[in-house]
Amino acid sequence: MPNYQVTGRNNEGTPLASVSLSSVDQEGHVVDDMTVVNAIRDCLAGVPGVQSVVALKYEQVITRV
């Protein structure tokens, strides 16, 4: 799973709250990663003072030569 950084920002662009998501543990497939990321985005969007929410996805790519 890639890592996600979800950040809620005020109208000046200053970060107010941030959530880092590195894994979703589940027995078998229950929920997609993006469903969890979107739920966190919705939660941060409801925080007083938050005007925008940005989710960044980080993936590690390993190349063998």
Range of the domain at 45: 3-58
pLDDT at 53: 97
Residue pair 9/24 in contact by the 8 Å Cβ criterion: no
Q: How far is CA 7 from CA 17, 30, 41, in A?
A: 6, 25, 8
Q: Is residue 63 part of a domain?
A: no
For residue 42, pLDDT over 80 is answered with yes
The pLDDT of 19-23, averaged and rounded, is: 93
For residue 11, pLDDT over 90 is answered with yes
Q: Is residue 46 part of a domain?
A: yes
**Phi/psi of residue 39, nearest 5 degrees:** -65, -40
Q: Is residue 44 part of a domain?
A: yes
Q: Is residue 7 part of a domain?
A: yes
For residue 5, pLDDT over 80 is answered with yes
The total domain count for the chain is 1
SS3 57: strand
Q: Is residue 32 part of a domain?
A: yes
Tell me if the pTM is above 0.85: no
Q: Is residue 8 part of a domain?
A: yes
